[in-house]
Chains A and B, each alone.
Chain A
Amino acid sequence: MLTIHGREMQFCDGMTRRSFLKIGGLAMGGLSLPEVLQAQSASGNPSSDKALIMIFLSGGAPHQDMYDLKMDAPVEIRGEFQPISTSVPGIHICEHLPRMAGMMQDLVPIRSIVGSVGRHDAFQCMTGRNVAQQPQGGWPSIGATVSSLHGNKYPEIPAFVGLSPKMKTAGWGDPGQPGFLGAAHGAFRPNGDAQQDMVLKDITLDRLSDRKTLLTSFDRFRREADSTGVITGLDAFQEQALGILTSSRLADALDLEQEDPRTRARYGSSSPEPAGYGDAGPLMGDYLLTARRLIESGVRVVTLAYGRWDWHGRPHGTNFENARDHLPNLDQAVTSLLADLKQRGMEKDVSVVVWGEFGRTPKINKNGGRDHWPQVSSALLAGGGIRTGQVIGATNRLGEYATERPVHFQEVFATLYRNLGIHTNEATVTDLNGRPRYLVDHNQHKPMPELV
């Protein structure tokens, strides 16, 4: 928390100066903003425009019902869906992804993701690493790593934002942890801890949403604080913290009311309800739109969980009922994001990855579902300047294992880092023991030559 001592000053709405400035503690992982800024000041390359949006399909999406339909398999494996042709001759995907089919020239489905550790959480998708045998403090996520290596693009904009709400299945709501890089590089979570942050003494979130009043209050505070000389003597980081608190840039990015409603409508569902049953991320097109706005404001990495893909079957709906529910929403939201990025000239700078923690069993179970299958899964890449309009990899007739071009999670990470201007054969981050750590197992996993 940032606290400014001195005589108490009363605002026109009854808010005291001290309570006013107790903002920003939790959102940055418990550090005060000045501490965050101090840590981030040691980072380099703030001028990079490269960014990443990671869409995590919590629960493990069925690879054989999305980009890799198995029409030569028996019906108990093949399932209910039909393939459709796409804008790239020779590439076929599921009939329930027609918009992706229409823009396949801008996409790269990877049909052969391997190396999943089979855990029901976002850790491997956020770090590329196995949760076992971690260094002290833990492996940092890609968001934390980019925050560490590139720092903030603008002082008042966090480098790393996680949009997922908190979930009971905490692993699915994990935005990516800072690991040994420390809390200063943790994700800012406007839908998680930051919500508590925003409740000041006597000030509710509703009142905070009255931005005009709030900004007026900020301005008055600054004028009054300046006039009393309180600001004098603050160190640079405290002044920057004040800048974050009084800047509207981040608030504007998060405020979808400022977006053209027609654009917002194109992204599809805006329901914050958990998707599917039980604990899940929502099927919320608004999250993807918010991600775009955050990138435009200067955020470097945005992660979000979309939907609940852990479809074991009835009575919570068969795999195919859930797929008919989720796939059109995903199709609409992702293609709207990509079209939006392109329209704004951002597509070469912004990488987008859509994936989950593992694939699903080839054989449909007796409840009409598919169970966990870490042996192979799929991913979708776009943007970031990669060579698109191609499929990478293949699986066998039954979708059980990769037969061509197995792609390890860390190869995807090496590619994403490269897109972000970070070369994984050179870049390191320092762990808690002072040891430099490469971002991936760089001797084994390199950026995918088919894409870069």
Chain B
Amino acid sequence: MYLLRISFRNLFRRKGRTLIISSILALAVVFFLFMESLMIGLMDITFANITDFETPHVEIGRQEFFQEEEKGNILPLEENFIPDETILAVVEEREGFVAWTGVLDFSGEFIAGRHQYPVRVRAINPDTFPGVFKNEEYLVQGEFIAAGEPGIVIGKQLAEFFDLEVGDYYTLRFQDIDRSFNTMQGEVRGLISVPHPEMNLGTVFVARDQANAALGLDENKISRLMVRLEDRGLAPEQAGQLEEKIGGEALQVRSYREAAEFLVSLEAWGFIETYFILALFLVVGAIGIISAVVLAALERVKEIGMMKAMGLKEREIVGVFLLEAAGMGAVGGLLGCVLGGGIVFWLAEVGMRMEVLLDMEGLGVPMGDMIYGAWNPLSFILIFGFVVVVAVISSLFPSYWAARKDPVEALQYR
């Protein structure tokens, strides 16, 4: 108890020194909490935008279809399938299953006036599509797709690009199953504005019955069976189980993470970068602690000598210095958690404009204008503990150096 008391009071002996080292550690904590909140928030929003508007939690399709899509080639119409009852039953048995919908994606040219633009045409079943995706909720003008009715829904950005409004005419040009060029023409039914740039600009929605007829395909043929689960976290495991049950040479099952590998690697790099910068801060803090313990030991040589004369063992003297270093770590960690908590609160509640950080749209990341941080209480506990541990570890060597001083020399030290 006395060793703890001495260590605690020693913290205030050189207040300036304690404050400087604690501030460096606090800065590391603040930086980490801010970056981690930002990264989790950013990835949460990004993945939510993907699963809500583009790729669902789990999707099933032909391997060749996915391969051609990944290469950026024209989406192959022949790589379609009709999901049979067995597949649907297995899908519906999944833990956390919410809904499924079949989608036929194909490549086309969107033409309006004298301009044309390559797009992905997403042919949907309007009855089941809203159970999996939220695009309809983001309708800003007109109506959404209805079964048996012609017309398309496009993103607001594409509409602005072509200067189109609801009711304006369009032409979609594409190759049908026989590789003959065909077109669909009509009026724009509705405009959507979703926080996913790719869906606002490069995707056109049509009713599947209309599209399949124009493509010369059976009306039940789809390129992807898309599945929504209760929680995104369930997706990798459930996709794995589905792959075991129905996957094989013909069909492939992917979770949204496999479908968005670029984002997953971006997420990993983001965290690596965060940890790297955190490590740099902590190295500076550790050097500060080492020098503080060395200076403290030099200032207190006679005290160390006296403690040894009184019968205190070396490990108990080491304990005094370690506790003091842990105290510095705790002050820095606590200060950092309080300041970091404030910043994370601001980030989570108020949010920040994405353009302050970087051009996510230019990077092809599905993000809206604002980004919000995420609260992760475990991070506060972990970073606090980590800073204290770093402080203790970095003071180990100088503490032993101080405690091993010869008592006679220490007592005669001037």
A and B: interacting chains:
no
Query: Which residues of B line the A interface, CB within 8 A?
Result: none
